């Protein structure tokens, strides 16, 4: 039995030696088998690559998708340009210093007049709405980013998204039932309705800004033994105050043109300048004035409505473009 084992082991060793000698001889001679390739049978590494049918179809589909996206973007810009041109071409002829500083005419069908009461009332309404929505939105965002746990943070984010998608006419109806029914319309009721519109916008934008503040600043404050609230008040908020103000400007621009909530809350007003949001009369405002003047039978009212629309559109465009430019610059500073 041992002799058979020795013979078998000797034959296997001889075969291994012959194989190694064959490999060494081929390497020494530098001759390779022309039929063998490290890339597989039938593939030549020196052969140039050529596009297959699937690649051409994918390229065509990619170009078609890019063309469709470019077309949609151009259409969106074209719609904005058409709207701006239509309002500007019809409202520019009536714009003047008197149009911005005079009251509307007391007699229907009288030319001239202005929208000074609506400008003043809109300013008062937006100031109060901002004073309500800005601190609430910032505190909500701070709680979500700095203090809330995972489940409560998700619930609050979902609530803000739902509130942001709520129709503004529903918000106006809610405030109408809360502050107007059984009482009277007022500028404060309109401000509260617009504050509800602005709240989710400010909160979500502030939340995104706070997430851009470097984590190293918070870690450094924690290493020094600073409490969480003092870290937020002394480190996080000062670093993000500029973008937060920018987000508030964008929210103001979004809410300034809302008409539905103001129809329910502050639409029956006199054409005189008033700045009392708690009076027994509603505050004049530009959105409701545009609506009422365009629905009336006064041909001069149509011209004043176009002029008021141009004033409101100019304010919204300037606030939106300026706010987005400031926000973009702040984000690039944080990312750098």
> What distance in Å separates the CA atoms of residue 164 and residue 167, rounded to the nearest whole number?
8
Identify the pLDDT of residue 261: 94
Identify the pLDDT of residue 265: 94
Identify the pLDDT of residue 49: 62
* Distance from chain centroid for Cα 214: 21
Report how far apart the first and last C-alpha atoms of the chain are (Å, whole number). Answer: 80
Q: What angle do CA 67, 68, 71 make, to 5 degrees?
A: 85
Residues in the chain, overall count: 336
Identify the pLDDT of residue 60: 87
DSSP letter at 297? S
Cα–Cα nearest to 195, from 130, 263, 283: 130
Residue pair 259/312 in contact (Cβ under 8 Å)? The answer is no
What is the enclosing helix (H) or strand (E) of 163? helix 150-164
Identify the pLDDT of residue 186: 92
Cα–Cα nearest to 124, from 292, 272, 283, 260: 283
Report the CATH architecture of 82-335: Orthogonal Bundle (1.10)
Q: Where are the domains of the chain?
A: 82-335
Cα–Cα nearest to 117, from 328, 333, 314, 288: 288
Identify the pLDDT of residue 14: 46
Identify the pLDDT of residue 321: 83
For the chain, which ranges sit under pLDDT 70? Answer: 1-53, 327, 330-336
Which parts of 180-298 fold into alpha helices (H)?
Answer: 187-212, 215-223, 228-231, 237-256, 260-265, 286-295
């Amino acid at each position: 039995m041992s002799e058979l084992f020795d013979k078998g082991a000797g034959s296997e060793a001889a075969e291994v030696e012959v194989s190694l000698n064959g490999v060494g001889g081929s390497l020494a001679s530098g001759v390779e088998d022309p039929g063998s390739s490290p890339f597989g049978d039938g593939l030549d590494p020196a052969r140039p690559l050529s596009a297959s049918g699937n690649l051409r179809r994918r390229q065509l589909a990619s170009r078609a998708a890019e063309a469709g996206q470019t077309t949609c973007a151009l259409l969106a810009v074209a719609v904005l340009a058409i709207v701006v041109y239509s309002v500007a071409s019809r409202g520019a002829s009536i714009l003047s210093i008197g149009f911005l500083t005079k009251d509307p005419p007391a007699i229907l069908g009288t030319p001239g007049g202005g929208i000074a009461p609506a400008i003043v009332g809109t300013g008062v309404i937006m100031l109060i709405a901002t004073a309500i929505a800005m601190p609430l939105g910032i505190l909500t965002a701070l709680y979500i980013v700095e203090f809330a746990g995972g489940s409560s943070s998700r619930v609050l984010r979902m609530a803000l998204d739902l509130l942001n998608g709520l129709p503004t006419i529903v918000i106006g109806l809610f405030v109408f039932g809360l502050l107007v029914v059984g009482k009277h319309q007022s500028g404060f009721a309109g401000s509260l309705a617009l504050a509800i519109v602005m709240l989710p916008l400010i909160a979500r934008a502030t939340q995104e800004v706070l997430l851009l503040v470097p984590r190293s600043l918070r870690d450094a404050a924690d290493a020094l033994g600073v409490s969480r609230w003092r870290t937020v008040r002394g480190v996080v908020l000062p670093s993000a105050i500029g973008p937060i103000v920018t987000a508030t400007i964008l929210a103001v621009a979004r809410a300034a043109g809302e008409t539905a909530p103001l129809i329910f809350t502050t639409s029956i007003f006199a054409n005189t300048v008033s700045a009392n949001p708690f009076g027994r009369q509603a505050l004049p405002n530009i959105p409701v004035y545009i609506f009422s003047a365009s629905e009336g039978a006064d041909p001069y009212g149509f011209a004043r409505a176009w002029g008021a629309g141009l004033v409101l559109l100019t304010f919204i465009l300037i606030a939106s473009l300026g706010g987005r430019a400031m926000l973009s610059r702040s984000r690039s500073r944080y990312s750098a």
